[in-house]
Chains A and B, each alone.
Chain A
Amino acid sequence: MRRFSWFNATSIALGFAFLYIPILLLVIYSFNDSKLVTVWGGWSTRWYGELLQNEGILNAAWVTLRVAIVSSTLATILGTMAAIVLVRMGRFPGRTLFSGLIFAPLVMPEVITGLSMLLLFVAMNLDRGFWTVVIAHATFSMCFAAVVVQARLYDFDKSVEEAAMDLGATPLDTFRQVTLPIIAPSVISAWLLSFTLSLDDLVIASFATGPGATTLPMKIYSQVRLGVTPEINAVSTIMIGLVTIGVLVASYSTKRASERQEREMKAVDAGAK
């Protein structure tokens, strides 16, 4: 049994304090009654009430939610395909370029990605708005999705797929009935990651968007530039709350799913013996 040593416990505690104190302060001050953000005027939920009256923010939230749902679904489908290509397809002409294209968006500064997307949309003569933001988000999220699914594909037992094929299943059937159920938890995490990436993005959306498609981060950014307001704290708190619940639910359910899968595999092994 390992225990926390004095040094390790201290460094973890200090590190997590650094990570969480700013977020906690932001949440606490969203319940501050005073209009001045740093003067405490007692607990109140008035800023949440005012938020419900703020049509600009509500509209932006609705746009953001729609963009996030559509783009993360697209990103998950494309990313899963890309992961299968990287792990299962072996060699094909242009493979090196392909893995580079999956890799580059992960670290590319957002200003470059955003600018280049915008110039493409202009060159293609697309009307900028909802759909251009969706395309832009799907493009960089699919690379994150691919990495998440890829990790799962690497460490699962390929012989299960081979067995299905030997028993006469077509590649498509094998994918649907064998591969997909096994990688399902990672596909769900990939969707959630893409969803939050889209929800959070300011820079790429600012380049890719057009009139009528202002996202929530763009709205928040334009207000933050004018100064700290309790309303922004309230929006932020809601977003933090949603993401936290989503991540906790997802990690709990994937843990349950993988435990169940392990039990089933053990049962199958026992049956075979």
Chain B
Amino acid sequence: MRRWFVILVPYLWLLVFFLIPFFIVFKISLSDIATAIPPYTPTFSITDIGGFFSQLDFENYTFIFQDSLYIGAYFSALKIAFFSTILTLLIAYPIAYGMARAPREWQPTLVMLVILPFWTSFLIRVYAWIGILKKEGLLNLFLMNLGLISEPLTIMNTNTAVYIGIVYSYLPFMILPLYASLEKINPALLEAAADLGSPPWKSFWQVTFPLSIPGVLAGCFLVFIPATGEFVIPDLLGGSETLMIGKTLWNEFFNNRDWPVSSAVAVVLLLVLVVPIVLFQRNQEKQREAGR
């Protein structure tokens, strides 16, 4: 009895507030926009189920796939997410490596220092970059005072700013899993490699890096998946050239008030991300099994 109570409470909560909403999103993505409350038609009614189903159609999906704006936004979001994931990996790896090789008594403090910005508001951290990147901002001021540039650089409201924002905001998500897998590597393995005459860079590629791959994968998924649907960063740092699907969805919903089309955008985005999400969960479960 009690066992079922403990299982059912969180289970039902997630079914009602997380899973069922996706079916509602799907249903509304098949509806038409209407000037009513709620702003779509048909609304579900028990008395006229036949009429309800006959009114549903895939119009919104054909609309999305015919309009190059939406297709472009999907591809551009995937592209930006992909390259920023690679960049984040390249920046995070030496940091995580350094942390894992640091003196033992330093490590908890270093981990704490990586986690701390992650607890600080995402919005605030993105906002901090506006003051740095804008035309009369601190970066330009600094570079011009050094005499490195004579004209202020235009970084704010470009894709470069979006890349900087994503790399910066998601860096802790990459460092932590990398550190977790690097820290577990037995130093005796590297000593053995060195004793057998392997130069350090070769030991790195043949011993350290392969053993850190689970961390690399986990970190990449943790950055890539949310970055693809990112809204705050492209909205605040990006410009008119920045097309990202999360921003398109937001505008469709809050500015155009087109609930059916934004639902269809969400469904397609979810389908795009289902594969990486499932792969990520597999990777995590394999890790957990291996850990026990």
Chain A interface residues toward B at CB < 8 A? 1-5, 7-12, 14-16, 18-20, 22-23, 25-26, 29, 37-38, 78-79, 81-82, 84-85, 89, 92, 94, 98, 100-105, 107-113, 115-117, 119-120, 122-123, 135-136, 139, 142, 146, 154, 171-172, 193, 196, 199-200, 202-203, 206-207, 217, 220-221, 224-225, 228, 232-233, 236, 239-240, 243-244, 247, 251
Instruction: Name B99's contact: one of A12, A154, A196 (CB within 8 Å).
Output: A12
Task: Given A12-B102, A203-B232, decide whether A109 and B269 contact each other with a Cβ distance below 8 A.
Answer: yes
Instruction: Name A38's contact: one of B25, B102, B138, B171 (CB within 8 Å).
Output: B138
Q: A217 to B231: give the CA distance in the assembly, Å.
A: 14
By beta carbon, the residue of chain B nearest A19 is: B117
Q: Mark B82-96, 1 if CB is under 8 A from A, else 0.
A: 000000000110110
Taking CB atoms, residues of chain A closer than 8 Å to B221 are: 107
Instruction: Name B127's contact: one of A26, A78, A85 (CB within 8 Å).
Output: A26
Q: B91 touching A15 by the CB < 8 A rule?
A: yes
Q: B94 touching A11 by the CB < 8 A rule?
A: yes
Q: A101 to B172: give the CA distance in the assembly, Å.
A: 24
- In the assembled complex, how far is the CB of residue B126 from the closest CB belonging to chain A, in whole angstroms? 9
Q: A22 to B221: give the CA distance in the assembly, Å.
A: 25
Q: A243 touching B25 by the CB < 8 A rule?
A: no
Q: Which of B2, B127, B136, B269 has the most CB of A within 10 A?
A: B127
Q: A29 to B134: give the CA distance in the assembly, Å.
A: 15
- Tell me whether chain A's interface is mostly helix, strand or loop, or mixed: helix
Q: A120 touching B24 by the CB < 8 A rule?
A: yes
Which one of B13-21, B57-65, B189-197 is at the interface? B13-21
Taking CB atoms, residues of chain A closer than 8 Å to B132 are: 22, 25
Taking CB atoms, residues of chain A closer than 8 Å to B254 are: 206
By beta carbon, the residue of chain A nearest B94 is: A11
Which one of B46-54, B143-151, B207-215, B245-253 is at the interface? B245-253
Taking CB atoms, residues of chain B closer than 8 Å to A221 are: 123, 232
Q: Mark B110-127, 1 if CB is under 8 A from A, else 0.
A: 101111110111111101
Confirm or deny: B284 has a beta carbon within 8 angstroms of a beta carbon on chain A: yes
- In the assembled complex, how far is the CB of residue A67 from the closest CB belonging to chain B, in whole angstroms? 14
Q: A171 touching B113 by the CB < 8 A rule?
A: no
Task: Given A2-B101, A8-B102, A25-B138, decide whether A119 and B119 contact each other with a Cβ distance below 8 A.
Answer: no
Taking CB atoms, residues of chain B closer than 8 Å to A199 are: 121
Q: A122 to B84: give the CA distance in the assembly, Å.
A: 36
Q: B125 touching A111 by the CB < 8 A rule?
A: no
A-B contact pairs, 8 of them (CB 8 A): A15-B95, A25-B128, A81-B9, A81-B10, A101-B11, A122-B38, A146-B10, A224-B236
Q: What is the interface size of chain B, counting residues whose CB is below 8 A from a CB of the partner?
A: 90
Q: A89 to B121: give the CA distance in the assembly, Å.
A: 35
Q: A225 to B21: give the CA distance in the assembly, Å.
A: 30
By beta carbon, the residue of chain A nearest B110 is: A12
- In the assembled complex, how far is the CB of residue A83 from the closest CB belonging to chain B, in whole angstroms? 9
- Tell me whether chain B's interface is mostly helix, strand or loop, or mixed: helix
Taking CB atoms, residues of chain B closer than 8 Å to A9 are: 98
Q: A111 touching B123 by the CB < 8 A rule?
A: no
Q: A116 touching B281 by the CB < 8 A rule?
A: no
Q: B130 touching A224 by the CB < 8 A rule?
A: yes
Q: B97 touching A111 by the CB < 8 A rule?
A: no
Q: B20 touching A120 by the CB < 8 A rule?
A: yes
Taking CB atoms, residues of chain A closer than 8 Å to B137 are: 38
Q: A18 touching B110 by the CB < 8 A rule?
A: no
Instruction: Name B102's contact: one of A2, A101, A196, A217 (CB within 8 Å).
Output: A2
Task: Given A12-B102, A16-B113, A23-B120, decide whether A236 and B127 contact each other with a Cβ distance below 8 A.
Answer: yes
By beta carbon, the residue of chain B nearest A135 is: B17
Confirm or deny: B72 has a beta carbon within 8 angstroms of a beta carbon on chain A: no
Q: A251 to B80: give the CA distance in the assembly, Å.
A: 35
Taking CB atoms, residues of chain B closer than 8 Å to A202 are: 122-123, 232
Task: Given A22-B168, A26-B131, A135-B17, decide whether A112 and B269 contact each other with a Cβ distance below 8 A.
Answer: yes
Taking CB atoms, residues of chain A closer than 8 Å to B273 are: 108-109
Interface residues of B in 254-292 (CB under 8 A from A): 254, 259, 262-263, 266, 269-270, 273, 277, 280-281, 284, 288, 292
Q: A85 to B262: give the CA distance in the assembly, Å.
A: 35
Instruction: Name A243's contact: one of B16, B24, B120, B222 (CB within 8 Å).
Output: B120
Q: B21 touching A82 by the CB < 8 A rule?
A: no
Taking CB atoms, residues of chain A closer than 8 Å to B14 are: 82, 98, 101-102, 139, 142
- In the assembled complex, how far is the CB of residue B277 from the closest CB belonging to chain A, in whole angstroms? 6
Taking CB atoms, residues of chain B closer than 8 Å to A154 are: 288, 292
In the A-B complex, the 7 residue pairs with the smallest Cβ-Cβ separation, listed nearest first, are A109-B229, A116-B21, A15-B95, A8-B98, A11-B94, A82-B10, A22-B128
Taking CB atoms, residues of chain B closer than 8 Å to A247 are: 112, 115-116, 119
